[in-house]
Structure 1
Amino acid sequence: MLKIHNKVDITVPEDTDNPFLKDLFKPNAIEYTADTDTLEVIGEIPRDLHGIYVRNTHNQVHKPLGTYHPFDGDGMLHAVHFEDGKATYRNRFVQTPGYLAEKAAGKSLWPGILEPHLATYRGWGAIGAMKDNAGTDVLGHAGKLIASMSQGSEPHRLDPITLEPLGVDNWGRDIQPHGISSHYKADIKTGEMMFFNYGHSYPYMNYGVIDRNNQLSHYVPIELPGVRWPHDLGITEHFSILHDLPFFFDDELLKKGIRKLEFHADVPARFGVIPRHGDNSKIRWFEGTPCHILHIANCYEDGDEVIMDACISLNPRKPAVGEQGTDRFQKIIDHLDKHNTQTHMYRWRFNMKTGKTKEEEIDDEVTEFPVVSNDYQGYKYRYSYNTLFKKGEWSFIGIKKYDLWAGTSTRYEYGEHRFGDEPQIARRVDAVEEDDGYIITLITDMNENRSECLILSAKDIEAGPVARIILPESIQTGTHACWVEGDRIHGERE
C-alpha cells in the first residue's frame, strides 16, 4: 500500500536564501500512508519489535513573515508503526489553530521567534506573538500522542496509529494561557505524566501532573526570581526537577518589549527538587555552576541523593533575536552549533539531607539530545544514547552510547552526507536487560536524495543496521521523537 493522504501548496520560494528552508530542511508537501508491502526494506525487520516511533518536525508551509528560524515551522509528525516484522509509515501535519488559519489564508499570518514585533494577531506561547506550531516535542501518553511547541502551546492530541487529530483535552484548556512546554515526561510505571510551563508574569512558572487516565491531578504555581525560558524537566520515582538557569532576558529591555537573552556567568544555576505532587512550599532549591541546559538524559534517586544527568553548556551563545543583515543566518547557525556551545554529558548530585550539590563531568565530547529507555525514565539506569553533531552545522551525524556503569562508550555514524534525528530505544517484547532491543531513527541521505528508517541493535550499535526502510520521499530533518510500546498504544499499562 502506498497512498497520498493529502497534499498542501508550499508557498516558500524555491530560490529562498534561508538555509533552514532548503536542502536538508526543505519542507514536505505530501502526507503519505505506506507499508512494507510497497516500501523497500534492506535487511529484515525484527518480529519482536512492536510499537511506534514518532518524530516531530518544523515543516514550514508558507513564505515566512520576517527571518525564519528552524524552530518556527508547522508541526509535522513522521511515524513508523512496527508489528509482526512489518511496518507502516505515516506523516501528518499537526492541525493547530495557527496551521488551519494560515491554510485558509494561503499565507503566513504570524512571525517566528526572531521577530515577534511583526505580529499583527494575538499569538501563543511565552512570546505571545507566534502561531502555535506544535513542532517541537511529541510523547505518547494515555493512548494518544501529545505534540507541542517548546515555548508553550495547547497539548494537541493525535491518534498514535493513524495520526488523526483528536483536538485538545479538557485539561489542556484548564492550563491556558501558558499551555504545556516541552519536555513533558511519563513515568510508565505509574502512568503519570509530569509537565511545566512558563510565562512573562509572576510567578513565572507552573508545574503539573496528568494521571494515567488523562486527568489533570495536580497543577501549582512555582515562584521564580523573574522571566525564564527553561527547556526541560527531570523526574524520579518521588520527585521532579525544575530549572532556573542564568541564561535569561535583560530585564530593562524586556520592559520595552525587547527580548535579549544574556548569559549571567556570575549567577548560580538553580535546580528545584519538588515532590511529584508537591507545591511551591515543598520545593528544595539547589545551587550549581552557572550554566545552560537544554536536555536531560535521566534522573533517579540513590539514598539521600537525587541525581540528574544532562548535557551542560558552560558558555551558551546568544541567539540572533531581531538581527538583520547578510550574516543573520550565520548567527542562527552559530547559536545552534553544539561545538560552539560545547554541550556535553554532566552529572549533578542533590543531597536531600545536607542541601549540598556535587557535580562531575561524565564526558567532554560534544553530544546532545540524550535519550534513555522509557522503562527506566526516572529510575536508576545504565545507558544513554546521545546525538553526535557535525561541526559548524545544525545536523546530526551519529549516535554515541554511554555505559554509565562501566564508564565506556561506543558509537555509530550514519556516513558522509547522511543525517539523522533524535533516536529512540525500543526494547524487545519481553526484554530483560535495559539495552535488549533496538535503536530507531530517521535518516535523510543527501547523496541519494531519499530518507529511511534506520534500525540498529541497542546492544551493539557499532554493528550497523539491522534493517533500513526506504521512505516514499526525502523528508525534512527534525528533532525530537518518542517511542510508544506496543502494549501502551491504546492506554497506560495496568
Structure 2
Amino acid sequence: MKLFRHPPVVTSLGPTNHPYLTGPWTPLHEEVDAEDLEVIEGTVPSDIAGIYVRNTENQVHQPLGSHHPFDGDAMVHRIEFSNGKVRYGNRFVRTRCFAAEQEAGASLWGGLADPVQTAKRPGFGAHGALKDSASTDVVVHAGKILATFYQCGEAYQVDPDTLDGLGVAPWVPIDGVSAHCKVDESTGELMFFNYSKHAPYMHYGVVGADGRLKSYVPVELPGPRLPHDMAFSENYSILNDMPVFWDEKLLERNIHAVRFRKDLPSRFAIIPRHGTAEDIRWFEAAPCYALHFVNAFEDGDELIVDGYFQEDPTPPPLSEGAVEGYEHLMAYLDMHSFRSRLHRWRFNLKTGETREERLCDRIVEFGMINTRLAGKPYRYVYSVGAKPGWFLFNSFVKHDLETGESTELTLGEGCFASEAPFAPRIGSTEEDDGYLVSFVIDENSGTSECILIDAKNFAAGPVCRIALPHKISSGTHSVWADRSIIDAGKAASQA
C-alpha cells in the first residue's frame, strides 16, 4: 500500500467512557491518501466507476458539555473505483467553526444536549448556539461533494477527486441549508430546505445543474419545527411538519426540549418543483416522526412517499444495556426504542385524501435505492438494521416492494457498517444490477474495511473486502456518485 499522511490537526480530546466517543465512535484525527489497498477477500469489480463518499463525526476537542454524537466535526472519507483499482483518502471539512476551534485549541460551542449558555461564541443553525460542523449529510452536485449540517448550516463544498475544501456553496441562503438536499440525476437539479425559529419558519429552494440558485420560496409553518428530510418526485417536492418539535413554553426561555405532540397530525407540504408559496398543498397523516424518506413517485392521481415511521419518537430512557449516565441519550439514538419501520404515504392530489400502510415489520432505517430511479416508480430499498440500544448498524436489509419480501444480511459480532448506497454496474438496465458499498468497522481487530455486496445475490455476503489504512469513526450518511455524474456536473457548473 502506498500511503501519504497529512500534517496532524490540533486536538484537546481527553480520556472518556462516553459511548459515542469510544469503540466504533472513537474519533479519527489522521488524514491520509492511499493507493494499492490490500484486498482481503474477493476481487475488486471492474464494472463500476465512481466514488463512495462517507461523512463521519469526529470530535476534535474536549466537549464543553455532555456531547452528542451529532456534535462531532465532519470528516469525509472517499474511495474511488476505476477499472478494478481503488484509491482512498479522508479529510476534515474545514468549516468556519473547525478553523476557529483549531485556532483556539479548544471547543467553542456546546452541543445538541447542552444549554445554549454553554457556547462561548454565537452559534449557528435553527438552534442558534451550535457549531456548524457539516458532519451530517453528504451529496454530490454540480461536480462537487456537498457536506451539510442537520440543523441548517452553510453547506461546504469539497473537490470529489482531491478532497480539497472549496468553501461554502455560493447559493446558500442566510438561513442556511438543512441536511438532506436531494439531487435528481435526471435533471442535475438539487432541491433543499431550511428551517428556523423566525417566521415563516421554513424555506424551500432549487439549485440548477450549473450550481446556481433557481428558486427560493417561503413555507409558512405554525411555529418552529424540526424537519430532518424531504422527498421529491418528477414534478413535486414534499416537505413536512411533524408533531415532534421544541416545547413552546420552554423555548420562550431559550430551552430546547423536544416533545412529541400526539394530539397533532403529521403534515406534508406538496409543492411543484418550481412552484411558489401559493402552490403549496397540505395533507394530514397519522402523528409520528420520520427521520428519513426513501423515495417518492407519481401514480395517476396519487403522489406516493416512502420513508420510516417512528412509533415513539421521544422514548423513555433505556432501562437495560445502557452506559450509566447516558440512558436518555442512548434511547433517542436507538431504532429499537423509537421503533422505525418502512412506511408508505399516499396523497391523492385530486381528492385531498391521505392513505397509509406499513411496508415491512422489521426495525430498520437509513434506506438507499438505485438513484437512477429517484423520483420515479421503483422496486427495491436497501435499509440498515441496528444493534439494540445503540446507534450502530449491524445488518443490511433488501426490501422487494413488489412482492413484500425482505432479505437480511447480518454482520459478524463486533462489526458495524456504514450507510450503504447502491452502485449500478456500468451499462446495467435492471434496477438491482449493481453493488451496495459500505465501510465496516471491526472492533475485534481495531480495523476498518470497504465491502461490496452484489445486490442480486444479497444473502451471499460481500464479494469483495478492501482494507482501509486506519480505523474510521462511525457517523451518519454516505453517497455513491458515478464517474459520469461527477464529470457531467463539472461540465455543467463550468458552462
Question: Is the TM-score greater than 0.5?
Answer: yes
**2:8 aligns to what?**
7
**2:320 aligns to what?**
none
CA contact (8 A) 2:239 2:269 kept: yes
Letter in 2 for 1:21: L
Normalised by the length of structure 2, the TM-score is: 0.96
CA contact (8 A) 2:122 2:129 kept: yes
**2:422 aligns to what?**
425
How far off its partner does 1:363 sit?
Answer: 1.0
How far off its partner does 1:312 sit?
Answer: 0.3
**1:395 aligns to what?**
392
- 450, 453, 471: which is aligned to 2:468? 471
**1:113 aligns to what?**
112
How far off its partner does 1:417 sit?
Answer: 0.6
State the alpha-carbon separation in 2 of the partners of residues 388 and 221 from structure 1.
36
**1:78 aligns to what?**
77
State the alpha-carbon separation in 2 of the partners of residues 318 and 284 from structure 1.
31
How far off its partner does 1:318 sit?
Answer: 5.5
How far off its partner does 1:122 sit?
Answer: 1.2
- The alignment partner of 2:171 has SS state of helix
State the alpha-carbon separation in 2 of the partners of residues 130 and 78 from structure 1.
24
**1:323 aligns to what?**
none
CA-to-aligned-CA distance 1:321-364 (integer Å, 9 cap, x gap): xxxxx954221101111101010001000000000000011011
**1:190 aligns to what?**
187
CA-to-aligned-CA distance 1:131-188 (integer Å, 9 cap, x gap): 110000000001001001000011100001111101123212xx01x21101110111
CA contact (8 A) 1:444 1:475 kept: yes
**1:212 aligns to what?**
209
State the alpha-carbon separation in 2 of the partners of residues 82 and 209 from structure 1.
30
**1:276 aligns to what?**
273
How far off its partner does 1:481 sit?
Answer: 0.3
**1:54 aligns to what?**
53
CA-to-aligned-CA distance 1:196-250 (integer Å, 9 cap, x gap): 0000011000000000100000101100011101000000000000010001111
CA-to-aligned-CA distance 1:446-482 (integer Å, 9 cap, x gap): 1111000011101122111111110011111121001
State the alpha-carbon separation in 2 of the partners of residues 286 and 327 from structure 1.
42
Identity %: 44
**1:240 aligns to what?**
237
CA-to-aligned-CA distance 1:380-425 (integer Å, 9 cap, x gap): 1100000101111111001000010121111211111100011010
More displaced stretch, 292-301 vs 37-46: 37-46
How far off its partner does 1:41 sit?
Answer: 4.0
CA contact (8 A) 2:37 2:466 kept: no
More displaced stretch, 42-51 vs 343-352: 42-51
More displaced stretch, 350-359 vs 452-461: 452-461
CA contact (8 A) 1:262 1:318 kept: no
CA contact (8 A) 1:141 1:491 kept: no
How far off its partner does 1:3 sit?
Answer: 0.9
CA contact (8 A) 2:37 2:467 kept: no
**1:122 aligns to what?**
122
- Which runs of 5 or more structure 1 residues have no equivalent in the other structure? 321-325
How far off its partner does 1:254 sit?
Answer: 0.6
State the alpha-carbon separation in 1 of the partners of residues 414 and 363 from structure 2.
19
Alignment of 1:95-494 (within 5 A): 95-115=94-114, 116-172=116-172, 175-176=173-174, 178-317=175-314, 327-492=324-489
CA-to-aligned-CA distance 1:16-72 (integer Å, 9 cap, x gap): 12111111111111101112x243442101101110000101100000111110000
State the alpha-carbon separation in 2 of the partners of residues 423 and 6 from structure 1.
30
State the alpha-carbon separation in 2 of the partners of residues 39 and 97 from structure 1.
36
- The alignment partner of 2:436 has SS state of strand
CA contact (8 A) 1:148 1:156 kept: yes
State the alpha-carbon separation in 2 of the partners of residues 114 and 439 from structure 1.
34
Normalised by the length of structure 1, the TM-score is: 0.96
Change in Cα spacing, 1:71 to 1:293, as seen in structure 2 (3 Å) is same
Change in Cα spacing, 1:65 to 1:319, as seen in structure 2 (3 Å) is farther
State the alpha-carbon separation in 2 of the partners of residues 328 and 272 from structure 1.
39
CA contact (8 A) 2:11 2:106 kept: no
- The alignment partner of 1:102 has SS state of helix
How far off its partner does 1:120 sit?
Answer: 2.4
CA contact (8 A) 1:306 1:351 kept: yes
- Which runs of 5 or more structure 2 residues have no equivalent in the other structure? 318-322
CA contact (8 A) 1:39 1:472 kept: no
CA-to-aligned-CA distance 1:413-452 (integer Å, 9 cap, x gap): 1111100011010001111001111100000001111000
**1:64 aligns to what?**
63
State the alpha-carbon separation in 1 of the partners of residues 389 and 311 from structure 2.
18
CA contact (8 A) 2:54 2:76 kept: yes
State the alpha-carbon separation in 2 of the partners of residues 88 and 117 from structure 1.
44
Letter in 2 for 1:426: A
State the alpha-carbon separation in 1 of the partners of residues 19 and 356 from structure 2.
38
State the alpha-carbon separation in 2 of the partners of residues 181 and 132 from structure 1.
11
Paired residues, number: 484
Letter in 1 for 2:96: P
State the alpha-carbon separation in 2 of the partners of residues 151 and 135 from structure 1.
11
How far off its partner does 1:8 sit?
Answer: 2.1
Letter in 1 for 2:139: L
State the alpha-carbon separation in 2 of the partners of residues 68 and 319 from structure 1.
19
State the alpha-carbon separation in 1 of the partners of residues 82 and 234 from structure 2.
31
How far off its partner does 1:366 sit?
Answer: 0.3
More displaced stretch, 284-293 vs 248-257: 248-257
State the alpha-carbon separation in 1 of the partners of residues 40 and 17 from structure 2.
36
CA contact (8 A) 1:4 1:32 kept: yes
State the alpha-carbon separation in 2 of the partners of residues 277 and 266 from structure 1.
33
State the alpha-carbon separation in 2 of the partners of residues 46 and 319 from structure 1.
45
Change in Cα spacing, 1:319 to 1:25, as seen in structure 2 (3 Å) is farther
State the alpha-carbon separation in 2 of the partners of residues 39 and 158 from structure 1.
26
CA contact (8 A) 2:381 2:399 kept: yes
State the alpha-carbon separation in 1 of the partners of residues 10 and 252 from structure 2.
39
How far off its partner does 1:117 sit?
Answer: 2.3
Letter in 2 for 1:11: S
Change in Cα spacing, 1:228 to 1:220, as seen in structure 2 (3 Å) is same
- The alignment partner of 1:334 has SS state of helix
**2:43 aligns to what?**
44
State the alpha-carbon separation in 2 of the partners of residues 67 and 318 from structure 1.
19
